Amino acid sequence: MVNPHFAVSVMNYGVVFPSHSMPVSPVAYFNPSALPPTLPVNVYPANPATYYPEPYHMKPHGPNWCRSSNRDFFIRKLCLSRKEMLAQGFPVRMFNEVHIKPNKYQENRVMFCEKEDLNRVCIRCHCEYTVGSDGLQVKSETAICGENNFHITDQQRAENLKKFENTPEVSKFNAHVSDKLFAMDVEMVYTALGQEVGRVTMVSESGESVVDVLVRPSTEVFDPVTKFSGLTKQDVESATMTLESVRKFIFTFLNEKSVLVGHGLFGDLKALGIVHDRVIDTSVIYTNNGRRPSLRHLTAFHLGYEIQQSSSGHCSFEDAIAALQLVYFGIENPRALTAEFCNLLASQMAMF
């Protein structure tokens, strides 16, 4: 059950896709102030050569190309390989065990710890601190992390890897979602355990909200991080869904052949305890001079509108839509992608 705080009508908003606008579902759960008052009619340049400083050598396509049967073919080409998934920090199951390795931005960080290991490293101040035998942190009476009286960690116990679940196998009941595109975004809150899921949003390839729920953390909420999550302590503490129940709910819309899109999706799947092998991560396929690009920057630069502008925090619905749009944009404008994915699409486009 979703907190009524998020229930608003979005009939007057549109979701911009390549050269056309498609309506979202009549009701979506998000903070309305997080969306721009008006979305651009067409955020894609009519002439890519004027958009990119270098010559655009790709074969030109008409405005409806991305909606053609070719689109699904090129979307699959943007999916990360298992090797790339491991390098980027995604949960990957090998020999019936789930493996998660630090990516290049997480070098020298300990991702998991044994049950008897009570030492943690704060991702905010980088200090080492100790938790109780139950793995939980107790708030300090004085400031110990800047102005805060608690630390933050994203470390998990190694035993949690055994609880990770694969998306369902294809069956006659879910075969209709094979090859379908879904975009996901997760908002996190700080708790006695570390970071836990507070809200999960998933939209379909047409921009309709299929999952948008609040999640009740398993331990005490220290800080809902409203500035970034858009959530309040009351929101998450009154939520009725647990991590396990929301994972089952997500699985009713996916199978192992569905394609999941997100920005920093590796962190979302890790937080949800989900293993899925067909993923597109916009923080990986887009380049930013060797740095991980922010979703806000990519949306402003490539799509022509601003996100994450609300004073009440980010919106997972808005972020999921932006990631979805960036996938469609990347197919139409491969030179915006990293050299690896640009060349991959270029070699395939030559066949059409």
State the chain's mean pLDDT as an integer: 81
User: Which residues constitute the domain of residue 117?
Assistant: 112-153
HEC string for 139-151: CCCCCCECCECCC
Closest CA to 315 of 220, 219, 209: 209
Q: What is the model's pTM?
A: 0.80
Residue 273 lies in a domain: yes
Q: What are phi and psi of 20, to 5 degrees?
A: -160, 165
Domain total for the chain?
A: 2
Closest CA to 135 of 208, 207, 220, 213: 220
Mean pLDDT, residues 324-338: 92
Residue 5 lies in a domain: no
- Alpha-carbon gap, residue 246 to 307, rounded angstroms: 26
- Lookup result for tokens 């007057």: 12
The larger pLDDT score, comparing residue 314 to residue 186, is at 186
Residues 261 and 327 in one domain: yes
- Alpha-carbon gap, residue 326 to 282, rounded angstroms: 7
Residues 165 and 148 in one domain: no
Residue 8 lies in a domain: no
Residues 167 and 309 in one domain: yes
Joined tokens for residue 3:
């907190």
Residue 52 lies in a domain: no
Residues 344 and 217 in one domain: yes
- Alpha-carbon gap, residue 265 to 90, rounded angstroms: 8
Residues 147 and 218 in one domain: no
pLDDT tens digit sequence for 50-108: 322 222 222 333 334 444 457 778 888 999 999 999 999 999 999 899 999 999 888 77
Residue 333, pLDDT above cutoff 60: yes
Which of 153, 186, 220 is the C-terminal boundary of a domain?
153
User: Which range (49-53, 190-194, 246-250) has the least confidence?
Assistant: 49-53
Residues 209 and 166 in one domain: yes
CATH number of the domain bearing residue 298:
3.30.420.10
pLDDT at 31: 33
pLDDT at 3: 36
Residues 22 and 122 in one domain: no
Are the beta carbons of 335 and 58 closer than 8 angstroms?
yes
Residues 167 and 220 in one domain: yes
Residue 190, pLDDT above cutoff 50: yes
pLDDT tens digit sequence for 292-310: 899 999 999 999 999 988 7
Closest CA to 292 of 269, 274, 273, 266: 266
